[in-house]
């Protein structure tokens, strides 16, 4: 089975840096994805890590350590529009298994 754990909520001010951690216990793990979902919207792909290390895409970065079964999403220079739910998801044979999601609230 698949099990992913991430914090339920994070609150930060504009311009701050937020790190969302994700620990996983999965069989047949291929990689870790991150998705953003605004209220009433669809999940939007942010990043994917198959190998250990850091992937940077603009203000967002994602990290994976396969030996520690751990990854994180780093949101830098937070903006109000970053208020959303963020899901980590593990990939296994066409299947994405999602964590419960982290609600990020950005305050002015």
Partner 1 sequence: DTEVTQTPKHLVMGMTNKKSLKCEQHMGHRAMYWYKQKAKKPPELMFVYSYEKLSINESVPSRFSPECPNSSLLNLHLHALQPEDSALYLCASSQGASGVTDTQYFGPGTRLTVL
Report, in Å, the least distance between residue 84 CB and partner 1.
13
**Nearest to partner 1 of 13, 94 (CB atom):** 94
Secondary structure (DSSP) of 24-64: EEESS--EEEEEEE-TTS--EEEEEESSSEEEEETTEEEEE
Q: Is 48 among the residues that bind partner 1 (CB under 8 A)? A: yes
Cβ proximity to partner 1: between 15 and 95 the closer is 95
CA 58, 65, 20, 8 torsion: positive or negative?
positive
User: According to CB under 8 A, which one of 25, 96, 105, 107 is a site residue for partner 1?
Assistant: 96
Given a contact cutoff of 8 angstroms between Cβ atoms, the answer to whether 36 and 84 are in contact is yes
Terminal-residue alpha carbon distance, the chain: 40
The contact pattern for partner 1, residues 13-42, with x = CB under 8 A and - = no contact, is: -----------------xx-x-x-----xx
Cβ distance 30 to 50 under 8 Å?
yes
User: In this structure, what token pair is assigned to residue 71?
Assistant: 């990854």
Of residues 100, 105, 106, 107, which one binds partner 1 by CB under 8 A? Answer: 100
**Contact positions vs partner 1 (CB under 8 A):** 30-31, 33, 35, 41-45, 48, 50, 87, 89, 91-101
């Amino acid at each position: 089975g698949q099990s992913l754990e991430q914090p339920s909520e994070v609150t930060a001010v504009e311009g701050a840096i937020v790190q969302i951690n994700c620990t996983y216990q999965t069989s047949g793990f291929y990689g870790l994805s991150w998705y953003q979902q605004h209220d009433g919207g669809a999940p939007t792909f942010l990043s994917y890590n198959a190998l250990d290390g850091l992937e940077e895409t603009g203000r967002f970065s994602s990290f994976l350590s396969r030996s520690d079964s751990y990854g994180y999403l780093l949101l830098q220079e937070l903006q109000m529009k970053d208020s959303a739910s963020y899901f980590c998801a593990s990939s296994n044979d066409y299947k994405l298994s999602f964590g419960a999601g982290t609600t990020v609230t950005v305050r002015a």
